[in-house]
Amino acid sequence: MKINKIILNCRGSSSSDIAITSCFSLFLFRSPVVFRVNGLSKTFSGTTAFISGGNTPHFRSVNRTTLKYEYINFSPSTADRQYILSLNIPLDTPVEINNDFVIANTIKSMKAKSLNRGKHYEEFMSLSMRIILMTISEMLFSDTDFPDVPRYAELKKIRQDIFDNPMREWTADDICYEMDISRAYFHRIYYSAFGTTYRQDVISSRILYASEMLKNTNFSVSKIAEICGYDSPSYFMKQFRQHMNCTPSDYRKKAKNEEQ
C-alpha cells in the first residue's frame, strides 16, 4: 500500500479546499461535517472517518465554521483492495468513530515516519494503514467504549490541542489548575490514557511542526526553534537530533534532495 501524502491538522470549509486525486483518500474529521448521503445532507457531529475510493468526496463544514481533519492519500494494490473489501468497510461513506485514539495516533506515527524514512519505511506505512482500516472495521461492527480512564474526554481534548498548537507554551501546572487536580494525578491518568507522557507529547508535537517548517520554509533553525517555543536553539537541536536521528540542517538537506 503506497502512501502518497499525509497532512495533519488540515483546515478548510469544504472538500474544494484540498486537491483530491484519483487515488484513495482517508479523512479523519475532528469537527462537525456535512455529507451528502443518499441525496440528502446529513450532519456528523462527532469524530468521523471517510474513505474515498477514487471518487471526489463532497463535504462541508457546519454553518461556515472551520473543518478540522487529518488526510492520507494512498494507492492500494489489488491485494490491498481485496483486503479492504474483506473488512466490509463501505467506501465513500462517512463512518462515526466512538474512540479515535488508535487511528489518530497511528496517523501521527505515520507522519513522523514519513519525515525520517528508514529501511522498513514502506512496510511500516503499509502495516500502519492496515491498522487504521482494521480499527474502522471494528468501529462498524462492534460497540467500542472510551478507555476506562478517569476524565478521558478532557484528556483527549488536551492532547489534541497540544498537537494542534505546538507553538503554545504548554505547562502542566496550568492544565492541572483548569482540571482542579494534582500534578501527580494528572501525569498518572494521562499516561494511562495514551501510553506516553504529557511532556513527551509536547516535545513530539513541536518536533513534527519543526520538521514541516524545515521542509516547507526558508526560516533559519534559530527562528524555527523560537516559533516552536524553545528559548535555546542548542536545546532544540539536541531534542531534534534525539527524535529524528539527524540535525535540523541535515534534515532540511535530505528533504530538499527527496523533492528533487
Positions of the chain with pLDDT under 70:
17-22, 38, 142-147, 258-260
Alpha carbons within 13 angstroms on the beta-carbon side of residue 48 total 21
Does this model's pTM top 0.85? My answer is no
pLDDT above 90 coverage of the chain, percent: 33
Same-domain status, 111 and 182: no
Domain count, the chain: 2
Q: Of the candidates 55, 156, 10, which has an alpha carbon nearest to the alpha carbon of residue 97?
A: 156
Identity of the residue numbered 135 = T
Residue of 203, 200, 201, 228 lying closest to 213 (CA atoms): 228
Task: Give the pairing of strands 2-12 and 40-44.
Answer: unpaired
Contact yes or no for 52/91 (Cβ under 8 A): yes
- Whether residue 168 sits in one domain with residue 228: yes
118 and 179 share one domain:
no
Q: Please report, for the domain that includes residue 242, its CATH number.
A: 1.10.10.60
* Structural domain that includes position 111: 2-141
Q: Cell numbers of 49, please?
A: 472517518
Based on the fold, state whether residues 75 and 180 are members of the same structural domain.
Answer: no
Q: Are 12 and 60 in contact (CB under 8 A)?
A: no
Examine the domain organization and report whether 136 and 168 are in the same domain.
Answer: no
Share of the chain above pLDDT 70, in %: 94
